[in-house]
Amino acid sequence: WKTHQWPQDWKKSVFIPILKKGNAKECSNSCTIALISHASKVMLKILQARLQQYVSRELPDVPAGFRKGRGTRDQIANICWIMEKAREFQKNTYFCFIDFAKAFACVDHNKQWKILKEMGIPDLLTCLLRNLYSGQETTVRIGHGTTDWFQIGKGVCQGCILSPCLFNLYAEYIMRYAGLDEAQAGIKIAGRNINNLRYADDNDTSLMAKSEEELKSLLMKVKEKSEKVGLKLNIQKTKLMASGPITSWEIDGETVETVSDFIFLGSKI
Confidence band of 203 (pLDDT split at 50, 70, 90): low
Give the per-residue pLDDT at 259. 93
- Residue 103 forms part of a structural domain: yes
DSSP notation for the chain: --S----GGGGEEEEEEEE-SS-TT-GGGEEEEEEE-HHHHHHHHHHHHHHHHHHHHHS-SSB-TT-TT--HHHHHHHHHHHHHHHHHTT---EEEEE-BTTTGGG--HHHHHHHHHHTT--HHHHHHHHHHHTT-EEEEEETTEE---EE--S---TT-TTHHHHHHHHHHHHHHHTTTTT-S-SEEETTEEE-EEB-SSTT-EEEEESSHHHHHHHHHHHHHHHHHTT--B-TTT-EEEESS--PPEEETTEEEEE-S--EETTEE-
- Residue 3 forms part of a structural domain: no
pLDDT of 61 over the 80 cut: no
pLDDT of 128 over the 90 cut: yes
Q: Which domain holds residue 59?
A: 8-268
Give the per-residue pLDDT at 44. 93
Q: What is the pLDDT of residues 160-191, one digit of tens each?
A: 889 888 988 998 899 888 887 766 778 877 77
- Mean pLDDT for 100-110 is 89
- Residue 50 forms part of a structural domain: yes
Q: What is the pLDDT of residues 12-38, one digit of tens each?
A: 999 998 888 888 888 878 888 889 999
* Structural domains counted in the chain: 1
Question: In CATH, what number is assigned to the domain containing residue 200?
Answer: 3.90.1850.10
- Residue 98 forms part of a structural domain: yes
- Residue 215 forms part of a structural domain: yes
- Residue 2 forms part of a structural domain: no
- Residue 222 forms part of a structural domain: yes
